[in-house]
Each structure stands twice: as structure tokens, then as C-alpha cells.
Structure 1
């Protein structure tokens, strides 16, 4: 069986507006389920590819802070 997970995820959100996309992200994080991680990864990939260098640097800095905070708890 040939399953293209990325295409399936993108197809599922293709018609979502900003509010729906935010709800998808919030729900996935709050649920904390491992099965949601690939979808979040696809969404992050979209954000990353649409961002300029400054936005990418900001994301890396935020990620670094988040990693430091989560490792100290």
C-alpha cells in the first residue's frame, strides 16, 4: 500500500481558514498524542518553507528556549 502521509494531511486541511488551522494546531498539542506528530511536522514544514530568514531565525530562537525550558522541568 502506497500511503503518502504528507499529501493526505495537506488534503485534509486544504480548505481550512486561519481559525480552523489554529484549532487544528491547538487540538493536536493539547491532545498530546503521538499520532498527531506527523501532522504537526507537515504544518511546520509549510511554515518553514514560507518564512524568510529572519522568521526562521526567530523560530529557531523560540525553539531553543522551549527546549531549554522543557529540559529544566
Structure 2
């Protein structure tokens, strides 16, 4: 039996407002639960796929800087 995590996450947040998406992200991060990480990965995948080259470079710079501080 195969579970489509990507599809489940996308179905769960499809049609959500920006406020609802933010609440989902904040809740997932603040809970600190490992089981939330794959869902955040799916959301990041959507962001990455819809970002232009400049936005991708900004994300990479933010990530790099965050990892230096972490």
C-alpha cells in the first residue's frame, strides 16, 4: 500500500487563504514535531516551482545566511 504524502498535503491546504497557510506553517514549525517536516517540504516545493530566478536566489541567500547563524 502506497501513501501519496505530496497529494495529501496539497489536498489538505488547497483553497486555503494566506492567513490559513501562514497558520499551518507557523503551527508546523512551532510544534517542533518531526512528522511535520515532510509537509513543510511539500509547501516549499510549491514555492520553489512557482518562483522566478530572482526569488530563488533570495531564498537561497536567506537559507545560506540562516544556516550560518544556526
TM score, norm. by length of structure 1:
0.93
Q: Which runs of 5+ in 1 are unaligned?
A: none
Match of 1:65 in 2: 65
Deviation at 1:42, TM superposition (A): 0.2
Secondary structure at 2:38 match in 1? helix
Q: Which runs of 5+ in 2 are unaligned?
A: none
| Runs ≥4 residues deviating over 3 A | none
User: 1:32, 1:60 → 2: CA distance?
Assistant: 23
Deviation at 1:8, TM superposition (A): 0.5
TM score, norm. by length of structure 2:
0.97
User: 2:52, 2:40 → 1: CA distance?
Assistant: 20
Match of 1:2 in 2: 2
Bigger relative contact order (CA 8 A; separation at least 6) = 2
Q: Say whether 1:55 aligns with 2:52.
A: no
